[in-house]
Chain A
Amino acid sequence: MSGQPIPFEIHPSSGVPIYRQLVDQVYALLAGGHLCEGDLLPSVRRVARAASVNPMTVSKAYSLLESQGAVVRVRGQGMRVAPKNQKGQASGRLEERKEQFGRLLEPALHRAQQLGLSDTEVREVLDELVHSLKRQS
């Protein structure tokens, strides 16, 4: 058993399918700069062993990432993070990337509603965040 840690946190008993969790986490690692162009993803077997999940599920996630252009399969090496395109984004379909972002926002918007924030106030918070992130980078 390889004792190397994997950069994923997998919850098999979540309502989100395991392959989805992996895909979302890879995009999150890319967005956060923790995975960069040319980095190698841990092998399917290593992820499956470390998380005690079916290797087929991990393969499914990696294949999906490949079809979305986020990673490239390199013979004999595994999956490498694909070069960024001009917009500085992983090159999945825009619809898919938007959808994924929407899924992340959904619980936050629900909470905003509970906190009694208006639509305008929510947008203000979002704008501020976008600006402060831009200043950092």
Chain B
Amino acid sequence: MNWNTAVYIVMNPLFALVLSPLVLGLIKTVKARIQGRPGPPVLQQYYQLRKLFHKEIVYSEDSSFIVRLGPYLGIAFMLTASLFVPMVFIPQTGWFGNIILFFYLMITAKFFMVLGGLDAGSTFGGMGSSREMTVSSIIEPVTIMSCAALAFVLKTTSIPEMFRTLLAGSIFSYPTLILVGISLFIILIVESARVPVDNPETHLELTMIHEAMILEQSGPKLALVELASGVRQTVLMALLINVTFPWGLAGLAGCASLLLAAVTMAVKMLILAATVGLFESLLAKIRFFRLPDFFMIALFLSFITIVFELLR
């Protein structure tokens, strides 16, 4: 492992970790402004996390080690997954980057969250877990199909390689990537539990999926869970950004270029966050059993991309 890779391994997850509360905060602010409210401060999520880290942990008497271990494994797997999507610069080589492994690491993080939801024996937790697993099962073929579309267009299955190819070319050499971009946007909405799939604002039992599942987590454990879902969202955003608009990503590590790349990425991320906030405000939540229809759009677009690529 050389110096370049070492910097990458430390920097990439840290970048996601630090930026994710800001992204969440910005989405909230945009939504509030559209609804005509002042909304919480943009940095509210950071205050929230600080507060949670100082609170006590409450466990259910019925729970086991699963609910205690789950948040650690959740954040560990999410941060490992975040290694797979270069956000600031593209490392030279490495064992990371396989796009399938990336999505499966995210599923693993989710799997332990789902078990945690079932552990306390609360009906809410069970309901949330069941719905979360349902949504993620149905979105999975879409996700893998988008991976296949990316692999077919860019002729590689490694995410850093994909970005490198994209940086060298222009969007005009790969016009079909716009379609994949829409697919990835839908995947982003689904995986980060946003309207129209889930409503992150409410704890009403009719609408909630993700929030119901983590209802029994508290204090610092809840903070870890929140961070993990924040990182999930940030990483998927980075994937979408770099597939559709990779410019600004540094090819190699150097202090000045790194700083510039980090700022560029942050700006792009915030623009996307504002778009997500706008998107959320414009749509109403879809009925749970209508969700497969929504996912079908993404599946169709990925499939069309593959067909285009084959007929080229």
* A-B complex is real: no
Name A residues whose Cβ lies closer than 8 Å to a Cβ of B. none
